[in-house]
Amino acid sequence: MKLIIEDDEGRKTVVPVVREEITIGRQDGNTIRLTERNVSRRHARLVKDNGSLLIEDLGSYNGVRVNGEKIAGPTKIKEGDLVEIGDYDLGIQGKFDAAADAKAAAGKTVPPGAVKAPAAAKAASAPPAPQQAAPPPAAVAPQEPPPPPPPPQAAPMQQAMPSASAGGATAIIRVSDIMKAAGQVVEVRDLQRAEMPRLVGLVGPFRGKEFYLMRSEVKFGRTDENDISLDHQSVSRQHCKFLLDGGQWKVVDNKSANGVRVNGEEYAVSNIKPGDTLELGHLKFRFCGPGEKFTPPPEKSDESAKPAGKQPTTAELIAGASQPGRGMPGQQAQAARKSGPPVALIAGIGGGLLVLAIVAFLVVGRSKKGDDGGESEGGVSGSAAVKAGDAAFKGKHFIKASELYEKSGETSPNKKRAVEEAKGEELYNQLKGAIDSGDGDRARTLFEKCSAESTFYCQKAQEMGDQVKSAYAKKHLAAANAAKTAGKLDACQAEVNNVLAFDAANSEAQALGSQCAPPETAKVDPAPKKEGPSPKEREAKAAKLAKDSLDKLNGRDFANAAKLAQAALNLNPTDRSTLGTAYRTLGYANAYLNDRAAAVKWLEKYLPFCAADCPAVHAFIGH
């Protein structure tokens, strides 16, 4: 059984439940330490009880919620339950297995304070640095990194959770209230137009405005990082989110200051259906199903709610021309209605002239509208540009979508994401161009830059890894052969090492590396012959190179780590410690560089030397 902890920024930690009691709180000494201030010093505890797991509030200030309800005493929790402690979500995966728990307890004891809220940092899609991963068992030297997690393409979100020793592997399970089964997540996908429900404003500044839920997970809040961003003081920064789970929409409160109400009742998590009224802070919306026609009824206080001195809109002027008193301030409207036909007639005549003036203005001015007239380039209206941008967005044409959103001058839920995805698309296009032109160095630089991004096209770029390696190797092996022909063996070896640092499994580079060694000479030199390094000196040099490679690995310099480890092996060391360190470094470095084939090759060589990390290595290479 595992406890999965997720903070408010989506970062996750996995802790095996191997103790009879686990305490949770902010101060040192707790089994699990959560550092946010809305967690009490001793907040809660988990206790095993006859094959079940109970959670108990230890008199905390903010309490403990299970599936949205605050608990009053020890409460049983199971797979799929959502436990809320401050800004943290906790979930359970798996069931009690006495044998497995005993084995886990023997090898993986969770030290007090092992789980801490990470410092503010972006969650990267690349594997975490060795020094940032979950601590390895005590038998492993502290300066050594834990075994690497599988590369992204080898460990999709839907796969089973690896053991915690396998590099932490904390980004596999997402804790949420909609867990249908342990280890599963709801797929986030773009919706077709016919699938999109919408929120329609009922009151206040957003009355009548429509906000479409364009994805199966939509974030709602006050700041720009949300999919729907409404700048209103009653809305929290990350107020709530809407989730589509098995055909059912849910709204989930993100611990907002003013809460979420559905049909007048406050909920932490609630199913919603067409026709429901949602209150998000002080804003009120109607949840409308896909294609449902709905127009909000007029507010009772429409006329009195208009700020004094505010200029009437064009629609109000037209309405006022056809209906005496409408569009005027409240007292003037009443006077117009009470004054009878003469005033109404005058208002009607004046309104009719005004309508004609407005229509003339719209007709004449239509062709002149530009950036400030509601039309974008080419005569396409702002709303039409947004629709075209949405269509391009769905078709994964993010650069085009970003340009259309910018030209529209209007707000779209997809605009911010389109800008981010457009950068990934641009990198992808540049990478293809570099490969096509044979520029291996540029291809490698762009490939490594894209590997740190999680955008659609940067993930797609990982499929071109073999092409990038081929282009890079072709260029540098050609330089190595030219240097070899010119007798510049040092330059030849340097070019070979460049290739091996990027692709340690390149057989041509491995073969050429031995040919770059200085040739033996049959010429008798009358001068005293200088002897090469002794076996002892060679072993010492190899050991130093292996140690330096491990330091580079810990410093996230994976390419140079592999280069130094290969140089150590080129000295043909016999010391088991040197060999084990070099094989291990090459395996881990290639795993972090997303070269699974090379990683498996070197980790298989490392197996005879492994110790406490053997199970994780076996799991990674599939033995």
Report percent pLDDT > 90 for the chain: 16
Q: What is the average pLDDT across 207-214?
A: 92
Region of poorest pLDDT, from 8-12, 179-183, 262-266, 385-389:
179-183
Residue 562 pLDDT exceeds 70: yes
Compare 220 and 372 and report the one with higher pLDDT: 220
In which band, very low, low, confident or very high, does the pLDDT at 107 lie, cut at 50, 70 and 90?
Answer: very low
Q: What is the average pLDDT across 279-303?
A: 83
DSSP classification of residue 153 = G
pLDDT of residue 559: 87
* Token output for 482: 């030219």
Residue 45 pLDDT exceeds 90: yes
pLDDT of residue 286: 96
504 near 570, Cβ under 8 Å? Answer: no
In which band, very low, low, confident or very high, does the pLDDT at 43 lie, cut at 50, 70 and 90?
Answer: very high
DSSP classification of residue 151 = P
Could you tell me which residues are beta bridge partners of residue 283? Answer: 280
Residue 553 pLDDT exceeds 80: yes
Which is it for strands 69-70 and 65-66: parallel, antiparallel or unpaired? antiparallel
Which is it for strands 21-25 and 32-33: parallel, antiparallel or unpaired? parallel
The pLDDT tens digits of the residues spanning 68-100 come to: 888 999 999 988 888 989 888 898 887 765 554
pLDDT of residue 340: 47
pLDDT of residue 6: 86
Q: What is the average pLDDT across 446-453?
A: 81
Residues 6+ apart with CB under 8 A from 387: none
Q: What is the average pLDDT across 437-451?
A: 86
pLDDT of residue 461: 83
Compare 150 and 462 and report the one with higher pLDDT: 462
Average pLDDT in the chain: 73
Size of the chain, expressed as the number of residues it contains:
623
133 near 146, Cβ under 8 Å? Answer: yes
pLDDT of residue 262: 93
Residue 623 pLDDT exceeds 80: no
pLDDT of residue 29: 87
In which band, very low, low, confident or very high, does the pLDDT at 352 lie, cut at 50, 70 and 90?
Answer: low
Q: What is the average pLDDT across 291-301?
A: 79
Report the alpha-carbon distance of residue 323 to residue 538 in Å, rounded: 99
Compare 530 and 96 and report the one with higher pLDDT: 96
For tokens 């702002």, the residue is: 382
97 near 18, Cβ under 8 Å? Answer: no
115-154 as b/e, with b when 16 or more CB fall inside 10 Å? bebeeeeeeeebbbebeebbbbeeebeeebbbbbbbbbee
Query: Whose CA is closest to 115, among 38, 17, 49?
Result: 17
In which band, very low, low, confident or very high, does the pLDDT at 483 lie, cut at 50, 70 and 90?
Answer: confident
In which band, very low, low, confident or very high, does the pLDDT at 485 lie, cut at 50, 70 and 90?
Answer: confident
Region of poorest pLDDT, from 132-141, 325-334, 542-551, 586-595:
132-141
Kind and range of the H or E element at 598? helix 596-606
Region of poorest pLDDT, from 447-451, 525-529, 554-558:
525-529
Q: What is the average pLDDT across 175-200?
A: 66
